[in-house]
Every structure is written in structure tokens, then in C-alpha cells.
Structure 1
């Protein structure tokens, strides 16, 4: 209907989870079977919305839609950085959706920018406000290839200064909660109307005139409908969702109306399973019914500039009834985890961070000026390095921001100063205050960032800022008596994880034992190059010695270390690392250790390690988390093989007896039942993983599981099977003529239809859907002309398509 519009906004965001020293998200066991929660949520939500299903009769998939191309959305820059590296397919689909939306919405893209790391802007100082917007804008332009029209504020937290900063940097609009409106009036009228308590019509765009003379457009989303998605079950039915969206539009009104909602994007698929499908169905329903037109904010603004103006209530947000107190005081807002807890820790935590920021700013400013760089312009531009750390780009950045050539040490100092500032920004990520307890993972993550900033500061001027910081942090008391306060958490949990070049050297020394090419290793945000690397082996014993140059790819700081590490089998490792002294010292150490090892004198080797490395002594526990698991998996491989043989012997020796007991409906003794379950599940996993998977063998094992009443490991097998079918479909996409591969896929998919294992063939369905759009018609053309081979291909593909629950 003319001048009636609907806009759905999704705020897609996860707090940064990277280890601040490694710039990588380490393994998170709670996200299993995925590596970490970013990966899990991407699978459940971000990827799903890039290829969401629309179902027809009988639940068959009739279409696949990229939701991002039809809604308004923003992604946190730090999340997109992770996605670009770890989930490039979804990342590209998001970028493609924005380009597609530009064609759909009169040249206006569906993507909005976001302040860089979700800082609560009203609580930030002016300098940080500008950097957050500059970084967010640059990140957006580099990814989406255009300037952003709108920008999402962390928690929609706003005040006049925040809006001034947005407007100053060319941002045309932002989205706020209706409870953030203070007053409004029609442009040209003298009298203001009270807007407090959401007494403002969310179906209009509003102009906010700012003290500087600039202005910015504001959209106050529909609060009740946005809340209804979370609490009224609107995503249980796509049609009901669509009706609810349209129900707020006044069909009799003559002025343009925009019904728009804003929610966390994770609602669609992560918080509500299949929520992305309800969204797709609602979008298709709206498009087909023509009661309203889908739009995005930029298009609506161009077609219908604001006829009303509004003022906001200062220091407000969408998730705190008390303004922005949730991020600095015990206001009462929490997640309801424990009614006996309080959040008095929030104020002291912010005070500690503010103190650290204000202590480090003069240091940064003074040292940057020594390097002939403008401190704050350089920091604002540092996003150019954050997004491209190639040596060529960094060299160019340094040269363009300094008025003289810097030597190697000065270049490292320059980059260390900027990395220090980067982490003083990240420590203000809003999630650190949002939840109930100061020892929560989100809060501790912010303390990690502070610890990294402290470490960098100490490396620059050797001044102790940590004592003052911890004194303030001690005032942030935990609700859990065993933890005490945030300073104790720092000392017990954060401090032991701090990494320096020596610690990286220790990791390298141990990791080299398990590497095929140990002379050159990339270690997350570091690189290691070894000289004089020597590996001796005697049975299970290994001794590695050498010199290694450890280089930080972030700060370009580097040093050379001497190392020696003894592996006694399993995870028993003893090693030492220390700064390289000279060649002669190294040669003597190497000779003594080698001689002792070759004589088989392990105790002498250990004594020599103690002699040469003293307190610089390391073990398996000094490895980074992912590599600990990698090495344990290698170590366990032989152990598990031995256990499997033992189980197999018990299984084979007692199989007739177990069969007889099953025929008599007698329960198996627990040890025998455990044996059967282990063998059948393990064999199924092995069969699924084989290069030449055999459907008949899989069927036999499934029959065995049913016959012996075995409880299958459904989650693991479903995950493995879905991945295997995905890999086979990718092969088919590359070699579509392979009819035998289609037969194999059909057989495998049909095998599990009536079993407890329910693989989700999401990726495979996407590939099949694209093949039908891009390849199928060519085969159909030749089939219609009498080509029997093409006709057979079409029949097989139709069968595969249906087995994947897709409907032509």
C-alpha cells in the first residue's frame, strides 16, 4: 500500500572473545561440538539468515532467502573481523546482501555501521567517542564499499554529545528506543509535546537539531512489537509475525508511516530456533500481500524527510530503565541470575578503567610526539592498520604519520603505543557491566584488555601502573566469597595468562616437537624462526634444542631465545627458554644435553635443563589452550586405540551371549552395555569418516544398534554426518556429472531417516538449491532433446533434491 512501510532491524553482535595477546578466540568447551561460541552462534544464526528456508506443504523447502538483503541490519566490526577469517562464506553472503539491497531499496543498502567495540557512548570521553565512530565508519566502508548512512550505538545509549559526534562524521541517522524520546513537535510549530514514557509515534522519522547547528534523523522503534518477538512467541509463526508487524499501521492515515522494530539479531535462529525461518516467511508474506512495502531507513528518509523534530532524554539506552546506570552503578538492572547478588562492583570497575585510561593517555601523547606523530590523529587512523597488518601497509602507515624515518626499535615503540590505546578502548566493551557478577566471563574479558594495556605501558616506560589499578579494582567486590574481588580475580586468573615473547618462545619450543616443519612456525599473532634446530629421538624420548627469533606481528617487537625441551612421552614435557646469550654458550649447552640424551641419562638431561635455564622452566601447561588440546589428541590417539582393542575383544568374545540375552529381553549388565555402545558408536564415526564411505556398512551398524538397543551418540553422529554430506555435495558441485556420487548421497541420506541420528543438511541443501538454479536447466535442456545421459542425471538430481527435503 502506498506510503505504508515496514522495516525490520537486526542488531547482530557478539562481544570480542579473542585472547588479547594472540588475537584469536581460543577453544571454548561449552560451545561443543563447535570450537567456540562465535562459531556456534554463526552456525545457528548468522549463516542461517544468509540462506533461510521458506517451507511449503508437508514442510518441504520451496525457497531459500538471504534475509539480510530484505531487512535493516548492523554487525559489530569485531564480529565481522572474526567472521572474515573463520566463516568467510557467511561473511561474503552478508556483503552480497547489502549490494543486493541497494538495488532493491533505491540505492540504499540494508547494512548500518556500529560504534567500533560497543562502548557505552555517553560514558566515554569525547576523544573516545570520536575514535569509536571513526573506526566504525572506516571498518564499514572497507567491508561494504560505501559510506554508512546510519550507525548503531551500543545498547542504543545516547546523549546530545554522542549525536553531535555522529552528525559531525556524516552519519545521517540512528535508531533509539521510544523510551529515549523526551519531547517532539511538528517542524515549524512552537509547542513541544511530552514524549517521556514512550509517548511518541514510532511510525515517523524525526529530526534532532543539535546545539552545533547540525542535525541528525532519529528513528524510535516500536517497543511493544520488538518486545513481543522475545516474550510473546511471535517467531513461532511467520504469518502471525507478519500480521503483528502490519497491525500497527493506520490504514486510514494519509501521512507516510514506517512500522519498524529493532531486536538483537541473534533472536533469529540462536535465541529462538528456526527464528530465521519465521523472519523469511514474514518477509515473503508482506511482499505478497502488498498491505505495506518493505524498506530500509535510508530509503524511507530519502522518500519522506522528517516532518517532525524530537529531543532525547540525556544518557539513556534500550536496556536500562535508569538510563545508563547499568554500566556504572547498582541500579537494579540485571539478568535475574541470583536474587541475593548486587552489582555494587560496577562503579569501582569503571573507576579503575577510567583511572587507567587517564594515566596512559599522557604517556601515549608524550611518547608519540617524541616519534614526531600527532597522537590522536594517528590513533583515529590506526583502524587502517587494525584491518590490514601486512608489512607493506604498516610501513606506509608509519611513514605517513611521522615526519622522520624511524629505526626498528622506534617502529616497534610506535606500534606498541597504538596497541596500548587499542586495548584501552576494548576494555570498555559494554558486556563487561551488563551481567550480574564481576567474575563473569564478559567482565573478566574486559579485565584481560586492561592487563594487555598495562603490560604494553610497562614496556614503554617501565612505570608501575598495575599497583594503582589493582588498588581501585579491589573495590569491585564479588558476590561469590571464594573470589573476593576483581583484584584477586586479576591475580589468580588474569595474571597467569599474560603472554610475553619469552612465553611465546616456550610455546614454540614445545610445539616444535609436534610439527612437521619446526624451523618456521606461525603462532597466532606471532611468528617463530629457528636457527640450529636439532631434534634427537630415542624410542618415546625426544630432545629438541635450538635458537628461535620470536616476532610479534602486532607490535613488531622481537627477540632471540635459546631453548631446549625434553619430551618423555604422553604430555610429560620439561623445557627451558631464556634470552640468547652468545654462540659459544649455546654450543656448550647443546653438546652437554646431546651427550647426556645419547647416553640415555634422562635425570642428567633434566639436571642440565635446570642448570642452563634456572627459573625459566616450562612444561605442557605453558602451551596455549588450542595447542594443549591438539597435543593431547595426538597423545590420546594411541591410548584410545589400545582401549578400543580391549573393548573389541570383550565385544567379540561375548557377542553370542549378548545376543541371547537380547532375545530373552534380558537387560545387559552395565559393563557389557557400555562395551556395545562404545563399539557401535565408534565404528559408525569411523565409517562416516572413511575416504570411501560404504552405505552398506553404515546400514549394518545402524541395524546392530537397533538390534542391541544401543543408545547412539546422536549429537556427535548428526554433526559428523551433516559435515560428510556437505563435503560430498561440495564435490558434486565441482563435478556435477558424477552420477555415482549422487547415488551415494541419496543412499546415505535415506539411511538415517528412521534412526535417532538426525543430521541437519543445511549446507548440503544450499549447494543443491544453487545447483538447481545454475546447472539443472542445462541438463534439462539436453534431456528434452532426447539425451539419455542428461535425462538420467535429471532423474537422479530430482531424487537427491527430494531426499534433502527440497521441493522444485
Structure 2
């Protein structure tokens, strides 16, 4: 049979991690999940590893791993998160690639992904190359093989980008049909313009300026649109028949293939994973076509035609790549009257910052590293594992920070010199993460995606200052002032910076403040990991008097990624409830610390609160902190702890009200009279509480449960 079908899923989420913590903080908009990655994993990434196929009577007849029968890419930053937070899903993804190699003539279905979803045609040549190298190394580390294909973010392409893919050994990529300019038979001279109507049922060879070639697959745009936006996933059988309906009656090999956001299969469309599983089952069981992936099809049916692409084109902007650098008119269509004039100055600000960080990087590395840019390309081997030992099996060898430095250093480096080198490399990492495409995709500069890329820029500038580089913030903000927000309260990019970005920035002192404040609410061991930092207690005194607590001490705060560290001292007083004040500063020396420790402790023992506050002001000056300086998850945890007795009191009072007035509520129910809102709310609260408790018991009391449901 010469009919082949390939369904490609592009699985990606923008980096949501706090740039200073390397973890995603609580996102209330994703409730009841902790954050959007958790929510989408539950709705899409996990279900596709074990998707149900139902018979006409809605009974499960099979459970399948969809990834093993399709083609897929997963953004490296997302895959890193999945490995940490859902190792079972991660292993299922790796296993799917292994299974697909058996199914598809030795060709795995996973393809690589340019590292952090940067719009490649708008990137510098150096950044393009690093993005490709990092994407390949990340793939090799995870899947244990070299990638054959690579997904380009937003399928944005130009010849230089394709040339770099080919240079690094990538044999194919996937583009939208409107990205093809003209085609011809290989070895023929006459070109034919395709006008966005290229025959998508075959691969094409593209000749590159270097003399190399790369193969291109142009997906079926109409079916992809119907999957993503027009409800084709409402019925798996219809989905399958829509795919098979594209085949012609010709005997020559034909490939029907689509590419969409992988999140279509479960997140954007509920039970989309089951529609996909059903479609694949219908195709296979009915022998309607052979399922394949791109690499297998390319081996069986090499290109017979070549293509020229439309440079600087993409799948999600009809204007090419203008959505990521200008006010092209593309937006989410949810805010009529708004404009995206802010995109150009934001791009200009990022380019200005990137260019000004280069001399800081090159000059900073000159005394320590042989080739700074080769070291940056190789730094992915350190990024792949942030554990204390930092060992990564890659290319048949054990990698670590020390191994990395020994490969690239001009000589043996001191600890301070190693820290400086790592700060410079992290600065460059942030300088690429700040180009993540989502920062330009949406409607306003105040959006969370844009704030995220600006936070990466802030982190890069902070690291530059930390190695003695020029403070670039004022120059950066001068450009951002031209980026006008559509929301009057936010004014422009500089105001967005002051409102959302600057307050989010962390340093070791703020990490020390988090450690000191949170230590009042949970007992810490001598050494504790706080996200990507380690706090080591050297002195810790805890005094309690009624509901009041005082913690005084000193601790060493260590940045696990760069090796930077500070010795801090602190005094934190909790009055009860949410009332808390604290002081944290760099260690002031033994004599000053002993005096502070003695004076504040004596004042606490005398219950002299005004004197304690005065002493904190004197010893810590402007370095004062409160409950609001806790990192978001810990802040919520502490507030919940404070609220627990309050909620318990409200629950007891509500139950008393419910039981006291239960007879009259029963009478009203029998007479079909609606309950007053106050009583209805009380009854709902109590019944829901009892239902939850009943369902949480080890032995379910069905009779009691039935009674609650009837109530």
C-alpha cells in the first residue's frame, strides 16, 4: 500500500519559571491546579501516554500511547519540567520514541526542537547556532540518539536557519504550506510558483547557500486548521476519514500529514487524545493507510522535487515574522481597538541589551576561557542537570561543572573565578530566554508572557552587574518607554517594568529573608534547599512567648547554579496572625552580631515590642522584610496555616447553625419553598464538607453517602 499518514504534534509551553528560582510559582488562574503546566499535563500530556479507545457501547477496548504512533516534538524547557514533576509521563514519552523505532523501520517519532522557542529568522547568527546545538544536545541526552528532524518555533524559517540545521546534521523540518514559494523536479530548470497551494503529499529538497540540502515537509493546512479550530476532534472516526479523503487514485506513494499544537489533543479540546487514538485505530484496523513518521517516509520515498521557501515566513502570522517585531495586525482578536505598536520597541530593547551584553561576556571570559562562544554552545551539558554533583551521561562520558571548566578554562580557576564564569554563562542563557516568542505573540506589553521575557532580561542585567559589567537598565528602559501599553494604568514598557519586573527580582539577601521568615513556621534542618539555593544555618535562636515568636541567627546562602554565596544575619518577629517584621542584612561581624542578638532577645524577653522595632531599625536600617517577602508558594502555605484555626471556627459555627435550623429547612424543602441565601449557603458548605470527608474515608459508608446526596 502506497498510502501513508503522519500526524505531528508540537508540544510546547512557554517557560513559566521564576527566572531567579528556576521553578514555577503558584498560578491561581490554573486553579484547581498549581500552575498551567500542571493543568495541561493532566489534560493532555499524561492522557496521550495512555489514551482510551472505546467500542460503540462506550466500553474500553484498548489503552494506547499515542506518541508511539505519531510524530512529535516537545520543547526542551517543557520536557525538563515534565521530567522533574511527572517522571512517569517523562518515561512514557521516552518509551514512546523507543517503541516507534521498532514500528517505523528504526526511525524514532520524536524530533528535536530549537531550545527555547526563539523566532529563528529574527535571531543573530550566533544565537541561531546555539539554539540548534542546545536543542540537539538536549534531545540526545533525553532520547539517547541523534535527532533526524527539528521543529522550528512557529515554523519560522529563512535560509540561514535551514543552513544551520543542515550544518548540525538535521535532515528535515516541517513547514506550513504558505511558506513554499516555487517548486520544480530535481535536476530540471523550470520553476513553478505554487501560490500557497503546494502539493503537501510528498517531501521536498531545499538547496541551501552553503551547498548543503535539507528536506522539507509542508503539512496539510486545511485539515490542521480544522483540527485546531473547527471541531474535527469531536469525532475520531470523522478525523480519520478526513485524513484518508485527501489521497488521490494515483498509485504513486502519497503522504497525508498534518502538524498542530499538540495541546489540541486534550487541552484545547477535551478528550482530544481519545479522538486521536480512535482515528489511529480506525486507520490501522480498517487498513486505510500505513501510519508512519517523517524519517521513515523520507527513507522509503526520498524527494523527487525541490522547493524554494518564502524567507522570514511562519505558520502563525500571514505577514511572515512581523508578529514578533511589529504591529502587523495579528493578535488574539479579544481586545478590539488595541494595537501592538509596543512590539517593535520591545524587540529593539532586547536587541540593544543582547548587543551590549556581548562585550561584557567576551571581556569577562577573556582571562579564563579559551573560546567564550564555544563554551556557551557546550554549556547545555551543565544546564541539563542542576543537581549538586551535576553529572550527565552524554556522548559516552560523564559531564560535570568541573569537567566543563577543565575543557574550556585557560588554567585552573579559583572558586571566585569559577563563579564569575558561571555567572557570565547564565547571563547568556537569560539573554536567549528573553527572546522566547510568546513575549510578542499576545495583545499587550503588560501580559504575563511579556513580563516573563522582561524578567529574563532583568536577570541578565543583574548577572552582568554581578561580574562588574556596566549597569544597562537605564538604557534598556529608555527604549521601553516608547512601547505604549493599551491599558492606561500601565502607560508603557518602563511602567510595566517598575510594576511587575523590578519587584520580582531576587538576590541572595532576599533569599535569606525568605529563609528567616519561613523558619518561624516550619522546623528546618541545619541545611535546607530553597529552590535553586541552599541555606546553611550557623546560628539559630528561636524564642516563644504566647503567640509571639522571635528568630535570630546567621546563615550562609549559596546559589547552587553560580556558586555565589553570602553570609547573612537576621532577626524576625511574629506577633501572631499575619503580623510580622524582620530584618536581614549581610553579616556584620561577630561583635555587631552579638550585640544585635543580645539586645533584641532581651527586649523580646521583656515583651518590649516598641524597643524591639527600634532595635531592628537601628541594626538592619533599610533591610526590613515582612510576610509579603516570602516566595509565593510559601506565602500561601503560611497564610493557610494562619487561616486554619479561623476556618475551623467558622466551620464549627456553620455546623451549629445548620443543626439548629435543620428542622425548619426540612419543612421548607417538603413545601418546595426556596431556602433564604444565608441558610442555603450554610447547608451547601456543611453538606459539601461531609461529602468530602465521607469520600476520603478508607471504608466507604454507602448508606451515609446516599443520605448526603439526597440532602
TM-score range, shorter chain: over 0.9
- Give the deviation of 1:155 after TM superposition: 0.3
Task: Tell me the alpha carbon deviations over residues 367-416 of structure 1, each in whole angstroms, 9 at most, x when there is no partner.
Answer: 11111331100000111111112344112212221021111111111110
Query: Contact (CA 8 Å) 1:512, 1:518: kept in 2 or not?
Result: no
- Name which of 433, 439, 443 aligns with 2:440: 433
In the other structure, the counterpart of 1:294 is 291
In the other structure, the counterpart of 1:662 is 669
Query: Contact (CA 8 Å) 2:513, 2:629: kept in 1 or not?
Result: yes
Give the match's secondary structure for 1:695: coil
Do residues 32 (structure 1) and 31 (structure 2) align? yes
Describe how 1:425-504 pairs up with structure 2 within 5 A.
425-504=432-511
In the other structure, the counterpart of 2:210 is 212
- Give the deviation of 1:351 after TM superposition: 0.3
- Give the deviation of 1:702 after TM superposition: 4.7
In the other structure, the counterpart of 1:796 is none
- Give the deviation of 1:699 after TM superposition: 4.5
Query: Contact (CA 8 Å) 1:519, 1:533: kept in 2 or not?
Result: no
In the other structure, the counterpart of 2:700 is 695
Describe how 1:524-543 pairs up with structure 2 within 5 A.
524-543=531-550
Q: Which runs of 5+ in 1 are unaligned?
A: 708-808
- Looking at structure 2, the residues matched to 259 and 536 of structure 1 have their Cα atoms a distance apart, in angstroms, of 71
- Looking at structure 2, the residues matched to 257 and 660 of structure 1 have their Cα atoms a distance apart, in angstroms, of 72
Give the match's secondary structure for 2:558: strand
In the other structure, the counterpart of 1:320 is 317
Describe how 1:505-584 pairs up with structure 2 within 5 A.
505-584=512-591
In the other structure, the counterpart of 1:329 is 326
Task: Tell me the alpha carbon deviations over residues 120-173 of structure 1, each in whole angstroms, 9 at most, x when there is no partner.
Answer: 100001000000000000000100010000000000000000000000000000
Task: Tell me the alpha carbon deviations over residues 415-436 of structure 1, each in whole angstroms, 9 at most, x when there is no partner.
Answer: 1001100000001001111111
In the other structure, the counterpart of 1:704 is 708
Q: Which has the higher helix share?
A: 1
- Looking at structure 2, the residues matched to 531 and 130 of structure 1 have their Cα atoms a distance apart, in angstroms, of 45
In the other structure, the counterpart of 1:678 is 685
In the other structure, the counterpart of 1:727 is none
In the other structure, the counterpart of 1:395 is 402
In the other structure, the counterpart of 2:301 is 304
Give the match's secondary structure for 1:200: coil
Q: 1:146–1:546: structure 2 CA closer, same or farther, 3 Å change rule?
A: same
- Give the deviation of 1:705 after TM superposition: 4.3
In the other structure, the counterpart of 1:361 is 358
Q: Which runs of 5+ in 2 are unaligned?
A: 390-399
In the other structure, the counterpart of 1:240 is 238
- Give the deviation of 1:662 after TM superposition: 1.9
In the other structure, the counterpart of 1:782 is none
Describe how 1:776-787 pairs up with structure 2 within 5 A.
none
- Give the deviation of 1:229 after TM superposition: 1.1
In the other structure, the counterpart of 1:372 is 369
Aligned Cα root-mean-square deviation (Å): 1.2
Describe how 1:622-637 pairs up with structure 2 within 5 A.
622-637=629-644
- Give the deviation of 1:46 after TM superposition: 0.6
Give the match's secondary structure for 1:370: coil
Task: Tell me the alpha carbon deviations over residues 245-275 of structure 1, each in whole angstroms, 9 at most, x when there is no partner.
Answer: 011111x313211111000000111111111
In the other structure, the counterpart of 1:756 is none
- Name which of 199, 221, 224 aligns with 2:222: 224
In the other structure, the counterpart of 1:83 is 82
- Give the deviation of 1:94 after TM superposition: 0.7
- Looking at structure 2, the residues matched to 533 and 390 of structure 1 have their Cα atoms a distance apart, in angstroms, of 27
Give the match's secondary structure for 1:546: strand
Give the match's secondary structure for 2:576: coil
In the other structure, the counterpart of 1:615 is 622
Do residues 406 (structure 1) and 405 (structure 2) align? no
- Looking at structure 1, the residues matched to 543 and 326 of structure 2 have their Cα atoms a distance apart, in angstroms, of 59
- Give the deviation of 1:633 after TM superposition: 1.0
Give the match's secondary structure for 1:563: strand
Query: Contact (CA 8 Å) 1:570, 1:635: kept in 2 or not?
Result: yes
- Looking at structure 1, the residues matched to 371 and 148 of structure 2 have their Cα atoms a distance apart, in angstroms, of 29
Give the match's secondary structure for 1:249: coil
Q: 1:193–1:362: structure 2 CA closer, same or farther, 3 Å change rule?
A: same
- Name which of 570, 578, 598 aligns with 1:591: 598
In the other structure, the counterpart of 2:282 is 285
Query: Contact (CA 8 Å) 1:74, 1:111: kept in 2 or not?
Result: yes
- Give the deviation of 1:581 after TM superposition: 1.6
- Looking at structure 2, the residues matched to 295 and 606 of structure 1 have their Cα atoms a distance apart, in angstroms, of 71
- Looking at structure 2, the residues matched to 526 and 326 of structure 1 have their Cα atoms a distance apart, in angstroms, of 37
Tell me which moved more, 106-115 or 331-340: 331-340
Give the match's secondary structure for 1:147: coil
- Give the deviation of 1:72 after TM superposition: 0.3
**TM-score of the two chains, using structure 2 as the length reference:** 0.97
- Give the deviation of 1:701 after TM superposition: 4.6
Give the match's secondary structure for 1:217: strand
Query: Contact (CA 8 Å) 2:244, 2:256: kept in 1 or not?
Result: yes
In the other structure, the counterpart of 1:200 is 198
- Give the deviation of 1:685 after TM superposition: 2.3
Query: Contact (CA 8 Å) 2:94, 2:143: kept in 1 or not?
Result: yes
Task: Tell me the alpha carbon deviations over residues 657-711 of structure 1, each in whole angstroms, 9 at most, x when there is no partner.
Answer: 2222222222222222221111111222233344xx3421x6525523423xxxx
Aligned residue pairs total 701
Query: Contact (CA 8 Å) 1:51, 1:64: kept in 2 or not?
Result: yes
Tell me which moved more, 59-68 or 35-44: 59-68
- Give the deviation of 1:518 after TM superposition: 4.7
- Looking at structure 1, the residues matched to 526 and 579 of structure 2 have their Cα atoms a distance apart, in angstroms, of 22
- Give the deviation of 1:338 after TM superposition: 1.6
- Give the deviation of 1:290 after TM superposition: 1.4
- Looking at structure 2, the residues matched to 229 and 386 of structure 1 have their Cα atoms a distance apart, in angstroms, of 36
- Give the deviation of 1:462 after TM superposition: 4.8
- Looking at structure 2, the residues matched to 226 and 561 of structure 1 have their Cα atoms a distance apart, in angstroms, of 56
Give the match's secondary structure for 1:174: strand
- Give the deviation of 1:522 after TM superposition: 1.1
In the other structure, the counterpart of 2:396 is none
Q: 1:253–1:365: structure 2 CA closer, same or farther, 3 Å change rule?
A: same
Tell me which moved more, 585-594 or 35-44: 585-594
In the other structure, the counterpart of 1:783 is none
In the other structure, the counterpart of 1:710 is none
Query: Contact (CA 8 Å) 1:3, 1:257: kept in 2 or not?
Result: yes
